[in-house]
Structure 1
Amino acid sequence: MKRVHDMPFGATVLADDRIRFRLWAPAAQQVELRLQQGAGTETGLPMQALADGWFELVTAPHQAAPGTRYRYRIDGRLDVPDPASRANPGDVHGHSQVIDAAAFDWQDAAWRGHPWHEAVIYELHTGTFTAEGTFAAAMQRLDYLADLGVTAIELMPVADFPGKRNWGYDGVLLYAPDTSYGTPDELKTLVQAAHARGLMVLLDVVYNHFGPDGNYLHAYAPPFFSQRHHTPWGAAINFDDSGSRTVRDFFIHNALYWLEEYHFDGLRLDAVHAILDDSRPDIIEELAAAVHAGPGRSRKVHLILENDANAARYIGQASIAAQWNDDIHHALHILLTGEQDGYYADYADQPVRHLARCLAEGFAFQGEPSGFREGRLRGETSTHLPPGAFVNFTQTHDQVGNRAYGERLSMLAQPVSLRAALAVVLLAPSPPMLFMGEEFAAATPFQFFCDFQGELALAVTAGRRREFAGFREFADPGAQARIPDPNDPATFERSKLDWASLDQPPHREWLAFYRELLALRRVHVMPRLPGMHGGARFELIGARGLAVRWHLGDGAQLTLLANLGDEAVAGKSGFAGKAFYLSQPDLPELFSAGCMPAWCVAWFIEEASQ
């Protein structure tokens, strides 16, 4: 089976041994296609200027072919890669490469994905997931992931970034998998192998900015950037001003390209609060509609948003399935670690209430003022949304890697409290997400790393250390200087998972615990989720106790009783039904006697009355 996404950008292999090259360069007077003929030798071919800033050239038969390396010369002076390059073996400043997408023979024609209620997500960074850091090496761990009980892997961004090491959020060639991870065909092989094991594959994409090194669009396509909006990374992507139609098409085609040509099962859209667009429909809505009308017609395709603004209005539109819920992480993190610096301060007043509200209603902040944001109102009402609209987690790449030393939660919390938090998150109706290695309490950190050069490298290192100046622990410049240098290769190497530790205590015990919880979810919770609506109820019990009750899709009631504190809680909250998880076997008797022991969790299901 062949899968090719047809798009107006980049290099397209035609049926008659010719290649069509197209570039949008509205600020250029002339564009020349430079075909690499051998080491240091190029042939220049003038491209035809078309309307609206487009340049095009269709080569003669055999003048170029799959594998040919090429670039564009702008106005006789600036050589640039193809912004829609399908592969860029020479990194972001080097030649692009013609790829024949039809050459890959797909074998997963029967794959239709999973419905969203079956989602259990495993976020991973390709470069540090294995020692080799490649797509091919990640494929060797797919059986392990299937046995763990996850149903979807989520790759952090793979679009071509500068250098050999990066989290992926500095991508500049959004159609080209980074060469440090492997070839396009190797990424397709990974996706296909995951499907063969019943695993969905989601991809993290960045549509709110380009990275700081290797982005040449300013020079020949300035309408890519807005004069009206600005983001923390500089000028915003232009989605609503003059020239924005082509810019919108560039990103919509990118989403369709990954979903169609690579057969991904969904996309996680990074930081959509930094995608600034005053038009209607806005780019998120238009992109989601295009996905729904395209690959979403014939299989399950899921879009997940990251939105720090807690905007609930997108969820449920077209193919938008859910949104990351940082609120639940922040509340749990305070309960488990006591940390209250930075954005955690917003949750320090009533962390148990914030947690309970997340479990029952989605967001903790639904329009209330945020002290961390200088009193600005944050969020929209989410009580009407079903639990499936929120991806819950105790760890992510952000929440681990944006710590100064990249410590994992298992390095910060006591085991008894961490087990309680996991029993809450992994068995609640919302789709849970794991961050690679957390399931065996990996002893390796996940630190912030990159591979910039020169003044940019120095600026990034200095900026990273300044970020923590407001934290008490790093008020002293000497303490800041000890924060790992993102550009040091050792920072990257330290972040690689140590798979040899799996058979050692306590890692094997943690792995068994995760497997147990996910097996319970698969049997007792997952089949009952279809048809759920919003409207769960919660109550607080004493200082750290809570009860949450949901009506499941089959009419049964799911009840959580938990005490997430170091002291027992005196108080009663009714429960009914059969327990399917008890953190200690005598909990029903203790609850009936009005006692909730420290760090206890119990889950009950009461069947619908006949």
Structure 2
Amino acid sequence: MPFGAHLLPGGNIRFRLWAPAVRQVELILEQDDGKKTILPMHSLADGWFQIETSPPQAQPGTFYHYRLDDALDIPDPASRANPQDIHGPSQVVDATAFIWQDDAWQGRPWHEAVIYELHLGTFTSAGTFAAALQHLDYLVELGITAIELMPVADFPGARNWGYDGVLLFAPDHSYGTPEDLKTLVQAAHARGLMVLLDVVYNHFGPEGNYLHAYAPQFFSDRHHTPWGAAINFDGKDSRTVRDFFIHNALYWLEEYHFDGLRLDAVHAIADNSRPDIVIELAAAVQAGPGSTRQVHLILENDANIASYLQQGTLAAQWNDDCHHALHLLLTGESDGYYADYADQPTRHLARCLAEGFAFQGEPSAFRAGQLRGEPSRHLPLSAFINFTQTHDQIGNRAYGERMARLAPEKSLQVALAILLLAPSPPMLFMGEEFAAATPFQFFCDFQGELASTVTEGRRREFSGFRAFTDPAALASIPDPNDLATFEGCKLDWDCLNQSRHQAWLEYYQGLLALRRTQIMPHLPGIHGGAGFELIGATGLIVRWGLGDGTQLTLLTNLGDEPMEGPLHLDGAPLYLSQVDLSGFLSAGRMPPWCAAWFIKETQL
């Protein structure tokens, strides 16, 4: 990396910092005896400062920071480890010290993706990389092929969702050491599991970001985000800024052997250059680690820019359209962005299953009539990740309720039969597979005025909802900074000893086993543009031609009333949500809340 502390052959260490807004930088090394060594760094061209040390001045494990203009001590923005949190010194890490044993691992093809999103701090009671390792065999048995970690970049305090990271190269110390994270990735690979990492390239967190003090060129005065200053990807001096984030992506993929990245909220990245940072980053990944093994890049993009997904360097996007339509059908909730799907939720869902996006350039009433999205019918359905739950969709609710508490059990089971067997890659959120009773709420660990601002802002978000017009109800919304809020979100694995939770787990296992054996082998080469028919307000038929010509058909009724209609069955039954459903369908009748899958393989 051109940034940070880099161990050279022979034991010397090169320290580099881009600080174009200061006159001088000193390297402060903390010795084992408590003494500090102060070394002036050499000023280079274009705002760079550099120094090379030799043993025993610095070595792996040495703590260090930079002193700016004799006034401010800062951690390394490219710190590989910051064990004393974001305001403390950085620590030199030997990137080559870990002995990898996954040389034979080449990743998995994208059509095999079954994703499991998890938050490390709440996935286990210990909340560490090491503790997560203990559940890898469980995930394999469930039918998962890819773990997606919410962001691990160093954030303020001891707990956070991860989207307030400020040291983007340092795994947060509350989860463990860099070696612990590498051990987790390696153990996952040994079990055939891909590991994906959520990264945030649209903003820095509100505490501990010192870049404004010495490199304000990192930020744009022309663009803004909902979370603070926008990153300067297209203004003066943006080349170094772009390189910082591109190297961060390469760092996680190469140094930690991650199998892919999920780029958070790229719709909040303002970049008028061509190619923009998303395309340039993706190209660098494919020319680098992606040239020797299978690496997958995933987007979160509320703007539904389908053209990103046809570049050939980006695997897929989280499909919020599919979630929103299905959520409305399951719960009847039509507040906020759900209002855009209230007119024809079954049609919106059908379009997602068959064509990718529901909004492909149509006006969004929630966005004051703004046109949203681009045509996506031509894209392969593997480019759209579907789900009923994510950290966002649960955690952005006032109380963090999961779907098992919001939707009737029968209806939710039908929805899962649709999403887990449809051609698009499905994603689960940790604990949903056993109907976890614990919520997933918004939590953080800020201090002082910032903590009060976040708590008040959280409650203000819900003040316009009818359920919170009463001040007492508003005050009952959990305080994000309260340790109890975080602790209450930790998964209760002991509940699997109860029959109800075990039954849910077995239901998920059964569907994913069906996907793995009966559907997944036919997916390579799948294209877009499946056909769909609507039957009344809640009936739906979707027909897909899979990659090898196999025909897959879904018949479903997502309403509380039976539906009559011409139902042309073709193929062998693959899944029936009710024992006697085939007889109903042959008579042209779909009972309430049902799903039936049929498959017709090509005769060679």
Q: What is the TM-score of this pair, normalised by structure 2?
A: 0.99
Counterpart in 1 of 2:415? Answer: 421
Counterpart in 1 of 2:457? Answer: 463
Counterpart in 2 of 1:279? Answer: 273
For 2:64, which of 70, 91, 99 is the aligned residue?
70
Counterpart in 2 of 1:192? Answer: 186
Query: What SS class does the counterpart of residue 304 from structure 1 fall into?
Result: strand
For 1:247, which of 241, 245, 257 is the aligned residue?
241
In structure 2, what residue type is equivalent to 1:593? A
Aligned-CA RMSD value: 0.9
Counterpart in 2 of 1:3? Answer: none
Query: What SS class does the counterpart of residue 436 from structure 2 fall into?
Result: coil
Counterpart in 1 of 2:176? Answer: 182
C-alpha distance in structure 2 between counterparts of 1:461 and 1:61, whole Å: 48
C-alpha distance in structure 2 between counterparts of 1:179 and 1:319, whole Å: 32
Within a 5 Å distance, the mapping from 1:112-261 to structure 2 comes to: 112-261=106-255
Q: After TM superposition, give the deviation of residue 609 of structure 1 in Å.
A: 4.9
**Identity, % of aligned pairs?**
75
Counterpart in 2 of 1:538? Answer: 532
Deviates more, 1:473-482 or 1:577-586: 473-482
C-alpha distance in structure 1 between counterparts of 2:163 and 2:229, whole Å: 16
C-alpha distance in structure 2 between counterparts of 1:113 and 1:525, whole Å: 20
The list of structure 1 runs, each at least 4 consecutive aligned residues, that deviate by more than 6 angstroms after superposition, is none
Q: After TM superposition, give the deviation of residue 556 of structure 1 in Å.
A: 1.3
C-alpha distance in structure 1 between counterparts of 2:316 and 2:96, whole Å: 32
* 1:499-545 deviation line (CA, Å, top 9, x unaligned): 00112121000000000000000011101001111110111112211
Q: Using a 3 Å threshold, how does the CA distance of structure 1 residues 82 and 318 change in structure 2: closer, same or farther?
A: farther
C-alpha distance in structure 1 between counterparts of 2:63 and 2:312, whole Å: 38
| Equivalent pair of 1:288/1:317 in contact (CA under 8 Å) | no
Counterpart in 2 of 1:56? Answer: 50
Query: What SS class does the counterpart of residue 363 from structure 2 fall into?
Result: strand
Deviates more, 1:34-43 or 1:112-121: 34-43
For 1:581, which of 575, 581, 592 is the aligned residue?
575
For 2:602, which of 596, 602, 608 is the aligned residue?
608
Counterpart in 2 of 1:93? Answer: 87
**Quick check: 1:34 aligned with 2:28?**
yes
Counterpart in 1 of 2:553? Answer: 559
Counterpart in 1 of 2:323? Answer: 329
C-alpha distance in structure 1 between counterparts of 2:33 and 2:469, whole Å: 52
In structure 2, what residue type is equivalent to 1:216? Y
Query: What SS class does the counterpart of residue 394 from structure 2 fall into?
Result: helix
**Quick check: 1:352 aligned with 2:346?**
yes
Counterpart in 1 of 2:292? Answer: 298
Aligned residues: 604
Q: After TM superposition, give the deviation of residue 407 of structure 1 in Å.
A: 0.3
| Equivalent pair of 2:556/2:595 in contact (CA under 8 Å) | yes
Counterpart in 1 of 2:104? Answer: 110
Query: What SS class does the counterpart of residue 196 from structure 2 fall into?
Result: strand
**Quick check: 1:599 aligned with 2:593?**
yes
C-alpha distance in structure 2 between counterparts of 1:274 and 1:28, whole Å: 29
In structure 2, what residue type is equivalent to 1:418? L
| Equivalent pair of 2:349/2:358 in contact (CA under 8 Å) | yes
C-alpha distance in structure 1 between counterparts of 2:300 and 2:547, whole Å: 26
| Equivalent pair of 1:153/1:201 in contact (CA under 8 Å) | yes
Q: After TM superposition, give the deviation of residue 39 of structure 1 in Å.
A: 6.7
* 1:421-441 deviation line (CA, Å, top 9, x unaligned): 000000000000000000000
In structure 1, what residue type is equivalent to 2:165? G
Query: What SS class does the counterpart of residue 311 from structure 2 fall into?
Result: coil
C-alpha distance in structure 2 between counterparts of 1:364 and 1:200, whole Å: 29
For 1:15, which of 6, 9, 12 is the aligned residue?
9
C-alpha distance in structure 1 between counterparts of 2:224 and 2:8, whole Å: 40
C-alpha distance in structure 2 between counterparts of 1:467 and 1:572, whole Å: 47
Counterpart in 1 of 2:375? Answer: 381
C-alpha distance in structure 1 between counterparts of 2:74 and 2:485, whole Å: 31
C-alpha distance in structure 2 between counterparts of 1:41 and 1:161, whole Å: 28
C-alpha distance in structure 2 between counterparts of 1:366 and 1:474, whole Å: 34
C-alpha distance in structure 2 between counterparts of 1:585 and 1:541, whole Å: 22
* 1:242-279 deviation line (CA, Å, top 9, x unaligned): 01000000000000000000000000000000011000
For 1:411, which of 392, 405, 410 is the aligned residue?
405
C-alpha distance in structure 2 between counterparts of 1:477 and 1:354, whole Å: 36
Deviates more, 1:172-181 or 1:541-550: 541-550
| Equivalent pair of 2:344/2:537 in contact (CA under 8 Å) | no
In structure 2, what residue type is equivalent to 1:588? S
Q: After TM superposition, give the deviation of residue 608 of structure 1 in Å.
A: 2.5
Query: What SS class does the counterpart of residue 379 from structure 2 fall into?
Result: coil
Deviates more, 1:433-442 or 1:314-323: 314-323
For 2:437, which of 399, 424, 443 is the aligned residue?
443
C-alpha distance in structure 2 between counterparts of 1:526 and 1:603, whole Å: 14
| Equivalent pair of 1:572/1:592 in contact (CA under 8 Å) | no
Q: After TM superposition, give the deviation of residue 606 of structure 1 in Å.
A: 1.4
C-alpha distance in structure 2 between counterparts of 1:39 and 1:529, whole Å: 61
C-alpha distance in structure 2 between counterparts of 1:420 and 1:17, whole Å: 60
In structure 1, what residue type is equivalent to 2:567? S
C-alpha distance in structure 2 between counterparts of 1:436 and 1:39, whole Å: 45
* 1:278-308 deviation line (CA, Å, top 9, x unaligned): 0001000000000000000111000000000
Counterpart in 2 of 1:341? Answer: 335
| Equivalent pair of 1:288/1:318 in contact (CA under 8 Å) | no
Query: What SS class does the counterpart of residue 215 from structure 1 fall into?
Result: coil
In structure 2, what residue type is equivalent to 1:505? S
C-alpha distance in structure 1 between counterparts of 2:255 and 2:350, whole Å: 41
In structure 1, what residue type is equivalent to 2:419? V
In structure 2, what residue type is equivalent to 1:502? L
| Equivalent pair of 1:18/1:63 in contact (CA under 8 Å) | no
Deviates more, 1:120-129 or 1:373-382: 373-382
In structure 1, what residue type is equivalent to 2:75? P
C-alpha distance in structure 2 between counterparts of 1:589 and 1:541, whole Å: 18
Q: After TM superposition, give the deviation of residue 62 of structure 1 in Å.
A: 1.7
For structure 2, list consecutive stretches of 5 or more residues without a partner in the other structure.
Answer: none
Query: What SS class does the counterpart of residue 543 from structure 1 fall into?
Result: coil
* 1:342-380 deviation line (CA, Å, top 9, x unaligned): 111111111111100100010111111111111111111
Q: After TM superposition, give the deviation of residue 212 of structure 1 in Å.
A: 0.2
Query: What SS class does the counterpart of residue 524 from structure 2 fall into?
Result: coil
| Equivalent pair of 1:572/1:591 in contact (CA under 8 Å) | no
Q: After TM superposition, give the deviation of residue 471 of structure 1 in Å.
A: 1.4
For 1:524, which of 518, 522, 536 is the aligned residue?
518
In structure 2, what residue type is equivalent to 1:227? D
Counterpart in 2 of 1:312? Answer: 306
C-alpha distance in structure 1 between counterparts of 2:138 and 2:77, whole Å: 36
Deviates more, 1:488-497 or 1:526-535: 526-535
Query: What SS class does the counterpart of residue 195 from structure 1 fall into?
Result: helix
In structure 2, what residue type is equivalent to 1:524? Q
| Equivalent pair of 2:206/2:228 in contact (CA under 8 Å) | no
For structure 1, list consecutive stretches of 5 or more residues without a partner in the other structure.
Answer: 1-6
In structure 2, what residue type is equivalent to 1:491? T
Deviates more, 1:45-54 or 1:535-544: 535-544
Within a 5 Å distance, the mapping from 1:468-487 to structure 2 comes to: 468-487=462-481
**Quick check: 1:262 aligned with 2:256?**
yes
